[in-house]
Amino acid sequence: MEFLLSSANGIALAASLVGIGFAAYQLRWVISQESGNDRMRQIASAIQRGAQAFLRREYRAVVVLVAVVTLLLIVLGLIPGSGMSLWTPIAFVSGALASGLAGYIGMYTAVRANVRTAQAASKSLNSGLRVAFASGTVMGTTVVSLALLGISLLFLLFASQLPAREAVSALAGFGFGGTSIAIFARVGGGIYTKAADVGADLVGKTEAGIPEDDPRNPAVIADNVGDNVGDVAGMGSDLFESYASSIIAAITLATLGAGLAPDKTLAGQVFPVLVAAVGILISMGCTFLVRTQESATQEMLLGSLRRGVYTASALVALAVVVLGLALDLGWNVVIATLSGLVGGVLIGYFTEYFTADSYRPTQQLSESANGGPAIVIIRGLALGMFSTVAPVVIVVVVTLISAATGGLYGVAMAAVGMLATLGITLATDAYGPVADNAGGIAEMAGLGKEVRTRTDALDSLGNTTAATGKGFAIGSAAMTALALNAAFVTALMGASADAGAAILRIDVLDPRFITGLFLGAVLPYLFSALAMLAVGNAAQRIVEEVRRQFREISGLMEGKAEPDYETCVGISTDSAIRQMILPGLIAVVVPIAVAVLSLIGRDNIIGQFVGPTTLVGMLIGALVSAFMLAVMMANAGGAWDNAKKRIEAGHLGGKGSDAHKAAVVGDTVGDPFKDTAGPSLNILLKLLAIVALVIAPLLATTPLV
């Protein structure tokens, strides 16, 4: 038995190290490509400095939180009878370091690949695609490899030092650490990127009538920096946490016996680790399938990315069948895992349908721009709301299938299956900001029209893959949070063979449970409001600064003077760092506060109002509310963006027309929807769940009913 555990983790360690080596090879290849002329290198250097300065300040702020939480976990571990392990803070710090490192490596690569993509695009469309996608591959492979490496090492260590339940409880600290970094990376990066983007668009495009990425716009460098700190570093940390937490949830539920026979516990523990290991290797191989030809249309470009993702999904499905049957887990667990894999592909497809300009929803949205900005906003909101139906139905079906076939363990494995191809799925997402930056550099450096046409094609493809990636991230976050919630309730109730019976002991009419549902449901709205206000406040400062420079710098509009880019970069950085703190703290403090009140109220009147049942209700309420709100925001924002780009491609009068100005307004409204508030909700619902799982030992002796 111990041999199986060590062998499986050994395979996972080997796959992780191969993945890290592959990412290093891809990074070296990207850096070896030509970086263009002096002007291109000068622009790229400014973007690099801005991105690195922001990340340094962000990580300095996050280190304080990590230190405080680590100290708190140590204190709890030292309290006799707390049920908390002193190994938990070690796992927490490990998760935080791994998540931060993954985000940094992805951003480091992206800010160097952008100028090389622009230069490669001067040769051919396929050359530009290869460089941009290779940089995305570094991000995707690094995220999955570091996550699996950390989980494998820690699980081997904890399993040899602790009883099984304590080992998996301590392992949850790794996911907690990753989420703590992700919440600030996503919120802070999202505030930065959208403040700069909105400010640059409102003054540059709408008021001054100059093109996007025009070097005369003082906010253009900040806008390009934001693409990297928000859509690369932030997305990487986000999906690192989903990936790690889904595996941890599956290991936890296998250990607690939720949905598995007692003699299948060990096989259930190693199955998610092996699926993840095989997924890394398959994703790496399938990245070589992504290539195109010079005269490729958008459909052909998208087809090249789909070829890699769909091939990886098919091969992982085959591997799941082989591994599940080899471990004697049976077809039930295999079907549960495959349901998640298929569900992830379907969520990506429907997200693309509602956001890509090759389909009717976004085409109709662009046509509504003839009626003015108000109609664009109304139609965009309606599109976003309508688009929630398909992902919700998919998650419902996946949950029902996985629970019916594999119990709560099956639900967790569905989340693992959905994320098994993350290496290549994240690569297609992280590719987008690099292509966007490449287009900006081409515009600012005055490269030829042919180059800009190629970078525009790559950028348009990146918008579609980014929207699809956000849909996938939201769906996987919902499944991961569901698995974590199941692990929390199972750990809280001490269920052994059948966790389903234990869950039924919660009284759904208990006022504490109902109030928990309401509190959980309102949290995503409060969180989103704070994030949107932060973007609005920061964007207002950018707008005022850009207007000031246009007004006061003589010769700026004529192209005879250089704008002050650094001031806008500084405004975005300061605003993002200051305003990311409150939303991030809410996600950490609220579940802990409910848990503390539950402990205090064990033997007094407080227990009549707050208890562990309140926390369970809060987790469920937040999951349902955040999932639908995130889908609505992400898809509405993506559709507004692509509707604008469709007009810029020559429809309805093209750039500068009244329809274009209306679409720009819709796009600026959608920017904080799709790149700040919406994606950040993924981490909110996962952070609530992982915090609850970490503190479950403290609440285990408090009755639910």
pLDDT digits (tens, 9 = 90+) for 626-655: 999 999 999 999 899 889 888 987 888 888
- Cα distance between residue 599 and residue 121, in whole Å: 61
Amino acid at 360: R
HSE-CB at 556 with a 13 A cutoff on CA atoms is 21
What is the percent of the chain with per-residue pLDDT over 70, rounded to a whole number? 95
| Domain assignment present for 276 | yes
Q: What is the pLDDT of residue 497?
A: 37
Q: What is the pLDDT of residue 502?
A: 39
Write down the pTM of the prediction.
0.88
Q: Report the first-to-last Cα separation within the chain, whole angstroms.
A: 38
- Cα distance between residue 4 and residue 145, in whole Å: 21
Residue 23 reports pLDDT greater than 90 = yes
| Domain assignment present for 137 | yes
Better-scored residue on pLDDT, 202 or 374? 374
| Domain assignment present for 595 | yes
| Domain assignment present for 15 | yes
> Do residues 488 and 692 make contact, with C-beta atoms less than 8 angstroms apart?
yes
- Cα distance between residue 324 and residue 684, in whole Å: 32
Q: What is the pLDDT of residue 496?
A: 36
Of 164, 157, 159, 135, the closest CA to residue 227 belongs to 135
Query: Model confidence over 42-56: pLDDT tens digits?
Result: 888 888 888 888 888
Better-scored residue on pLDDT, 18 or 551? 18
| Packing angle, helices 658-672 and 612-648, rounded to 10 | 160
Better-scored residue on pLDDT, 570 or 20? 20
Count of structural domains, the chain: 1
Q: What is the pLDDT of residue 238?
A: 79
Query: Model confidence over 359-391: pLDDT tens digits?
Result: 899 999 999 999 999 999 999 999 999 999 999
Range of the domain at 88: 2-257+264-699
> Do residues 4 and 323 make contact, with C-beta atoms less than 8 angstroms apart?
no
Q: What is the pLDDT of residue 618?
A: 92
| Contact residues for 485 (Cβ-Cβ < 8 A; gap 6+) | 616, 619, 620, 623, 689, 692
- Average per-residue pLDDT for the chain: 86
| Domain assignment present for 705 | no
Confidence label for 2 from pLDDT (cuts 50, 70 and 90):
low
| Domain assignment present for 704 | no
Mean pLDDT calculated for residue range 478-490: 86
576-590: buried (b, 16+ CB within 10 Å) or exposed (e) per residue? Answer: bbebbbebbebbbeb
| Domain assignment present for 483 | yes
Mean pLDDT calculated for residue range 283-306: 80
Lookup: tokens for 141: 């492979």
Residue 499 reports pLDDT greater than 50 = no
Q: What is the pLDDT of residue 14?
A: 92
